[in-house]
Amino acid sequence: MPADLFVAFPRLQRLLRLAGGRCAGAGVAGLAVHRLLTAVGVHPDLAAGHGHGELAALCAAGAVDDTDMIEIGAACAGAVPSRADLLGHDLRSPAFPVWASTTA
């Protein structure tokens, strides 16, 4: 479980403090696993991910630093509508946020 990594390896807790609850845990956990694996000599030839895992992959590849990953993750989390925002809307439209629901 990723939470156990932060207990077993206190140096990874810096990532939690940096995130401060502003970014999805998946990105921070992915980056923590990457940091742990590289510390023991496992280095990836390729980095990929989905959702916030993409941010961890970008960070692992050196495209962005830890701080930038947290800022981008926080911006993404703020841009995604919540379930409460979606209730009562017709989600069949690809332009959902732009068009209001017209179904009865």
pLDDT tens per residue, range 26-55: 777 888 888 888 888 999 898 888 877 888
How high is the pLDDT of residue 63?
93
Do 54 and 26 contact (CB within 8 A), yes or no? no
* The pLDDT of residue 27: 77
Give pLDDT < 70 ranges for the chain: 1-3, 5-7, 10, 12-24, 78-104
Per-residue pLDDT, 68: 87
Q: How far apart are CA 4 and CA 74, in angstroms?
A: 23
Q: Tell me how far the alpha carbon of residue 48 is from its chain's centroid.
A: 13
Given the structure tokens 């701080």, which residue do they identify? 67
At residue 81, φ and ψ (nearest 5 deg) are: -65, 145
Please state, as a whole number, how many other Cβ atoms lie within 10 Å of the Cβ of residue 99. 11
